[in-house]
């Protein structure tokens, strides 16, 4: 395992947190899409 | 919420704390997860019956997420011993990249979501098995077995052996002797795999106080037990072709791989050095990969044969 990228300034730390927040938002949106697709496929009689 | 920090820290570990996406990714133990994805996929693929491709993918994703979540819970609990082991000291929690509470929350949330997703995408038998696997790895193995007995990875290996069973259950909605055979193969493969690692990482485990077999029973006894497990594993891995689960091609492949597994275990038994342990460890990974690849290819050949016969 390599050394992790550490924030060196407060600005960098805030930028990293914003980046993480965006990924969390994307993950939640992705899950919503996943459950939507799941529902549609299931309603179609698959599985 | 706003973050207000007035000074620029000179020491990055002083006040600045910014876990990255990569840190959370590492919490999921991606290398372990890739093996789970592969064995879970094999279990799903060789299972009789069909499944909608989308549900197949979502189910496999859920199995992988569940395995990753149990890895996060494991890293939360093991942060004290991970910190003193060279192999694990840079993991996100002991390195300070992720707070312990964050790791635990992440693991629990992903666990719940993965079980829910698998239940909705396939069936609740598979979801129940996934929940049991997460519980077994996160609680039984990590909290209890790992620190209390040299048989830790023998019993705890059950968690790693369950993904193909979950995959099979996801497709068929039931269990039978075939998935239990896949379970048994991985179960018997786990001790020689991890004990080979423990042999050349012995100092690490001793320093951390983890009662791995070489630490407690010594290297000779470990090498002897590796050989015994290899001798049991080799014929067991051929069994799928004997019960009609796989064809002759798989039988030949598994026999050849098994002979080499026993050979390397014998070499380690007779000539104890780190190089022999590393060779066996490296081959054990390739062994499991090729074995399950063989099952998948065998099924593909069978399907293409059926299609050609139509």
The rounded percent of chain A whose pLDDT value lies above 90 is 43
| Cα–Cα distance measured from residue B208 to residue B129, given in angstroms and rounded to the nearest whole number | 31
pLDDT tens figures, B217-265: 999 999 999 999 999 999 999 999 999 999 999 999 999 999 999 999 9
Indicate if B189 and B228 belong to the same structural domain: yes
What DSSP line would sit under B3-14, residue for residue? ----SPPSSTTT
Please compute the mean of the pLDDT values over residues B119-134 and round it to a whole number: 97
Please compute the mean of the pLDDT values over residues B91-97 and round it to a whole number: 92
Interchain pair B19, A2: CB under 8 A: no
B59 in a structural domain: yes
ipTM summary value: 0.82
Indicate if B46 and B162 belong to the same structural domain: yes
Question: Alpha carbon of B175 to those of B179, B187, B274, B280: distances in Å?
Answer: 7, 17, 41, 32
Indicate if B34 and B165 belong to the same structural domain: yes
| Cα–Cα distance measured from residue B187 to residue B233, given in angstroms and rounded to the nearest whole number | 9
Identify from A1, A2, A4 which residue to disrupt to test chain B contact, counting B C-beta atoms within 10 A and taking the largest count: A4
| Cα–Cα distance measured from residue B257 to residue B236, given in angstroms and rounded to the nearest whole number | 12
Last residue of a domain, one of B175, B208, B227: B175
Are the C-beta atoms of B126 and B166 separated by less than 8 Å? yes
B14 in a structural domain: no
Query: Which residue matches tokens 């050979």?
Result: B263
Indicate if B196 and B269 belong to the same structural domain: yes
How many interface pairs between A and B have CB atoms less than 8 angstroms apart? Answer: 84
Sign of CA dihedral B116, B121, B124, B127: negative
pLDDT tens figures, B50-65: 899 999 999 999 999 9
pLDDT reported for residue B1: 39
Q: Tell whether B54 is within 8 A of chain A (Cβ).
A: yes
B118 in a structural domain: yes
B5 in a structural domain: no
Indicate if B111 and B159 belong to the same structural domain: yes
Among candidates A6, A17, A23 on the partner chain, residue whose Cβ is nearest the Cβ of B12: A6
Interchain pair A16, B23: CB under 8 A: no
| pLDDT grade for A46, boundaries at 50, 70 and 90 | low
Axis-axis angle for helices B30-46, B163-172 (nearest 10): 40
Indicate if B71 and B167 belong to the same structural domain: yes
Q: Residues 213..272 of B with a Cβ closer than 8 Å to A: which?
A: none
Tell me the chain B residues in contact with residue A4 when contact means C-beta distances shorter than 8 Å.
20, 22-23, 90, 92, 95, 97
Among candidates B3, B52, B117 on the partner chain, residue whose Cβ is nearest the Cβ of A41: B52
CA distance B249 to chain A (A): 31
Are the C-beta atoms of B24 and A22 separated by less than 8 Å? no
Report H helices in chain B.
21-27, 30-46, 53-77, 79-84, 100-121, 124-135, 146-148, 152-161, 163-172, 177-200, 202-208, 213-216, 219-242, 248-270, 274-309
Interchain pair B16, A7: CB under 8 A: yes
B117 in a structural domain: yes
B11 in a structural domain: no
Are the C-beta atoms of B49 and B111 separated by less than 8 Å? no
Last residue of a domain, one of B149, B175, B201: B175
Query: Which residue matches tokens 């830790």?
Result: B152
pLDDT reported for residue B230: 98
| Cα–Cα distance measured from residue B78 to residue A11, given in angstroms and rounded to the nearest whole number | 32
The rounded percent of chain B whose pLDDT value lies above 70 is 94
Q: Is residue B8 over pLDDT 60?
A: no
Indicate if B155 and B35 belong to the same structural domain: yes
pLDDT reported for residue B10: 44
Residue B195, SS3 per DSSP: helix
Interchain pair A34, B58: CB under 8 A: yes
How many domains does chain B divide into? Answer: 2
Q: Tell whether A1 is within 8 A of chain B (Cβ).
A: yes
B309 in a structural domain: yes
Domain that holds residue B53: 22-175
Ramachandran category for residue B173: left, alpha or beta (phi over 0 → left; psi -120 to 50 → alpha): left
pLDDT reported for residue A9: 84
Indicate if B29 and B170 belong to the same structural domain: yes
Tell me the chain A residues in contact with residue B88 when contact means C-beta distances shorter than 8 Å.
1
Indicate if B187 and B169 belong to the same structural domain: no
Interchain pair B26, A47: CB under 8 A: no
Last residue of a domain, one of B143, B175, B207: B175
Indicate if B236 and B170 belong to the same structural domain: no
Query: Which residue matches tokens 């080499």?
Result: B260
- pTM of the entire structure? 0.89
Indicate if B65 and B139 belong to the same structural domain: yes
What DSSP line would sit under B141-160, residue for residue? IIIIIHHH-TTHHHHHHHHH
Q: How many CA atoms lie within 13 A of B52 on its CB side?
A: 16
In terms of pLDDT, which residue wins out, A44 or B67?
B67
Indicate if B183 and B310 belong to the same structural domain: yes
Residue of B nearest to A21 (CA): B21
């Amino acid at each position: 395992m390599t050394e992790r990228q550490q924030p060196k300034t407060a600005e960098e730390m805030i930028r990293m947190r914003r980046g993480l927040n965006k990924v969390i938002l994307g993950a939640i949106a992705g899950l919503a899409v996943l459950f939507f697709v799941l529902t549609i496929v299931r309603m179609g009689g698959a599985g | 919420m706003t973050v207000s920090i007035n000074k620029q820290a000179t020491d990055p570990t002083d006040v600045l704390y910014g876990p990255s996406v990569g840190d959370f990714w590492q919490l999921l133990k991606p290398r372990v997860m890739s093996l789970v994805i592969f064995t879970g996929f094999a279990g799903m693929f060789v299972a009789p019956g069909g499944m909608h491709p989308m549900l197949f993918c979502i189910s496999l994703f859920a199995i992988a997420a569940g395995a990753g979540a149990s890895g996060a819970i494991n890293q939360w609990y093991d942060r004290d011993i991970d910190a003193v082991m060279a192999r694990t000291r840079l993991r996100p929690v002991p390195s300070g990249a992720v707070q312990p509470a964050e790791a635990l929350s992440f693991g629990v949330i992903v666990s719940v979501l993965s079980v829910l997703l698998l239940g909705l995408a396939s069936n609740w038998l598979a979801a129940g098995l996934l929940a049991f696997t997460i519980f077994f790895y996160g609680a039984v193995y990590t909290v209890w077995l790992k620190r209390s007995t040299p048989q830790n990875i023998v019993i705890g290996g059950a968690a790693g052996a369950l993904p193909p069973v979950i995959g099979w259950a996801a497709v068929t909605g039931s269990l039978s002797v075939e998935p239990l055979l896949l379970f048994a193969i991985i179960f018997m493969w786990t001790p020689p795999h991890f004990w080979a690692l423990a042999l050349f990482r012995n100092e690490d485990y001793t320093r951390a106080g983890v009662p791995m077999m070489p630490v407690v029973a010594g290297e000779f006894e470990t090498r002897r037990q590796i050989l015994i497990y290899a001798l049991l594993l080799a014929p067991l891995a051929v069994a799928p072709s004997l019960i009609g689960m796989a064809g002759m091609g798989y039988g030949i492949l598994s026999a050849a791989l098994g002979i080499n597994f026993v050979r390397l275990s014998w070499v380690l038994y007779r000539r104890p050095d780190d190089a022999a342990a590393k060779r066996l460890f490296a081959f054990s990974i390739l062994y499991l990969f090729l074995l399950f690849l063989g099952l998948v290819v065998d099924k593909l050949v069978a399907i293409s044969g059926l299609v050609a016969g139509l």
